Amino acid sequence: MVMGSLPEEVDLAVVGGGVGGYVAAIRGAELGLSVALVEKEKLGGHCLNYACIPSKTLIHISDLFYQMKNAERFGITAGNVKIDAKKMLEWRTLVSKRLEDGVAFLCKSNGIEVVKGTATFLSSNTLQLTNGTSLDFKKAIIATGSMPVKLSGFDLGGNTIDYREALMLDHIPKSMAIIGASYVAVEIGTLYAKFGTEVHIIARSDVLSHFDPDAAALVKRRMAELGVKVHAGAEPVSHTAATVKLSTGEEISSEIIVVAVGLSPYTEGLELGNTKVKLDRKGFVIVDSTLTTTDPNILAIGDVAGEPMLAHKAIRQGVVAAEAASGMKSGYDNLVVPAVIFSDPEVAIAGTLSGDGVSVTKFPLTAVGRAIALGSEMGFVKIAYDKENLVKGVEIVGQDANAMIAEAALAIEMGATLEDIADTIHPHPTFSEAVQEAAEAALGRPMHFFYGKREAKP
């Protein structure tokens, strides 16, 4: 389907209508380019329809359900709280549909031609479209994203599903075995555990093994409290319709098996061999600082262009790529891409907590009034800084970490110091005070936590 009559040539062709792709298309249109956007499924792509938005929608619902069932300490008895899984799925689907419709409206309003289907590169200036027509372009942006990695011996079908399908269930399974140990496995496992599902996570090493051990320890402790069983140091070797056999000899009975072992860049069907575009050994499209590929007419953004595979990185790169395609001297030079795990407690990090000459100070949420009032004291803020007190990284573990981490990203991008954060008035009572308190503690002047006698910095 085409929104209008497709021209024979456009200034900018964007292949992939996910969050990076549609942003690139909009920015290109804002700059006066004629733009065509090709999307084979739904506008908003993976994030809006199958991953980011659906998972956070369901996590919110599971949090509400769990809080209502466990509110006695606040003097609230909710009685027999029930979950209607079909209605929950309806809401999750409605949220994605509203956002998809919003993207379609923005594309139409900006004069972007939206083409339903796939695109194949015939050359460095021409695309072959599904509808049989060809489209010449001056510049193209590849924004095809990523796909779930397949696991040998665990073909999808029946009760074996990927994480996208786990977010589309119309019932609450009695048991679930999740193969994988990344943030995706943690998020899905936690949300279903709060609904009452018996959850097993099968981890080759351990959950969140690439994250700060202090943060991972708190998340694992909370998962254990929720009844999640982590099988660390185990690999799945075979399965039947109802069981998964592990390398340790264990057998896990499970109604649903979820394969969540990672993502791989998606370039299938693009026929990049007809262009000068090159891939690296991991299958990512090679780009430079302007996000231009090894073909000067073609740019690439988001998951297909390398790690980290995060939607907000793709959005920023979409803006930069469109500007570069229009002739602006724009470059992708961001110092930091913040990351958030919507676990319980949440984990968010911007920058780094290590490096030569880098020191780290930790401030606990047990000393934050807002955290105590809400009964949400599990967590901390870590702030990393160099000898000149420049902020190099911040990690936030706890409620609302997802919202607070933007302050840290801005601080690092602007070259802020500990003093800049410590001397900025943070509203009280909020969780954000923990970031200010961490900076004050790093300066040797803690207000609400006693670290022992030490000399304050001038």
Q: Which residues contact 146 (CB under 8 A, 6 or more apart)?
A: 46, 263, 264, 265, 266, 303, 304, 309
Global pTM?
Answer: 0.94
Lowest mean pLDDT among 7-11, 292-296, 366-370, 442-446: 7-11
Spatial contact of 19 and 311, defined as CB atoms under 8 Å apart: yes
96-113 residue pLDDT tens: 999 999 999 999 999 999
Question: Is residue 206 over pLDDT 80?
Answer: yes
Question: Is residue 208 over pLDDT 90?
Answer: yes
34-90 residue pLDDT tens: 999 999 999 999 999 999 999 999 999 999 999 999 999 999 998 899 999 999 999
pLDDT of residue 1: 38
d(CA 412, CA 350): 8
| Mean pLDDT of all residues belonging to the chain | 95
Mean pLDDT (whole number) for 215-227: 98
pLDDT of residue 13: 98
Share of the chain above pLDDT 70, in %: 97
Tokens of 242: 């109802």
pLDDT of residue 274: 98
Amino acid identity of residue 412, one-letter, is I
Query: What are the catalytic residues?
Result: 428
Residue 330 to residues 286, 318, 322, Cα–Cα distance (Å) = 18, 11, 9
Spatial contact of 106 and 28, defined as CB atoms under 8 Å apart: no
Confidence of residue 281 (pLDDT cuts 50, 70, 90): very high
Q: How many Cβ atoms from other residues are within 10 Å of residue 337's Cβ?
A: 16
DSSP collapsed to 3 states, the chain: CECCCCCCEEEEEEECCEHHHHHHHHHHHHCCCCEEEEECCCCEHHHHHHCHHHHHHHHHHHHHHHHHHCCHHHCCCCCCCCCCHHHHHHHHHHHHHHHHHHHHHHHHHCCCEEEECCEEECCCCEEEECCCCEEEEEEEEECCCEEECCCCCCCCECCEEEHHHHCCCCCCCCEEEEECCCHHHHHHHHHHHHCCCEEEEEECCCCCCCCCHHHHHHHHHHHHHCCCEEEECCCEEEECCCEEEECCCCEEECCEEEECCCEEECCCCCCHHHCCCCECCCCCECCCCCCECCCCCEEECHHHHCCCCCHHHHHHHHHHHHHHHCCCCCCCCCCCCCEEECCCCCEEEEECCCCCCCEEEEEEHHHCHHHHHCCCCCCEEEEEECCCCEEEEEEEECCCHHHHHHHHHHHHHHCCEHHHHHCCCCCCCCCCHHHHHHHHHHCCCCCCCCCCCCCCCC
290-333 residue pLDDT tens: 999 999 999 999 999 999 999 999 999 999 999 999 999 999 99
pLDDT of residue 2: 43
pLDDT of residue 86: 97
Q: Which residues contact 201 (CB under 8 A, 6 or more apart)?
A: 177, 178, 180, 181, 185, 186, 189, 207, 223, 228, 229, 230, 231
Question: Is residue 256 over pLDDT 60?
Answer: yes
The length of the chain in residues reads: 458
pLDDT of residue 6: 64
Tokens 């575009």, located at residue: 277
Task: Give the residue with greater pLDDT, 1 vs 365.
Answer: 365
142-165 residue pLDDT tens: 999 999 999 998 989 999 999 999
CA angle 108, 109, 110 (to 5 degrees): 90
Spatial contact of 400 and 346, defined as CB atoms under 8 Å apart: yes
Q: What are phi and psi of 453, to 5 degrees?
A: -65, 125
For residue 88, the Cα-to-chain-centroid distance in whole angstroms is 22
Confidence of residue 458 (pLDDT cuts 50, 70, 90): low
pLDDT of residue 355: 93
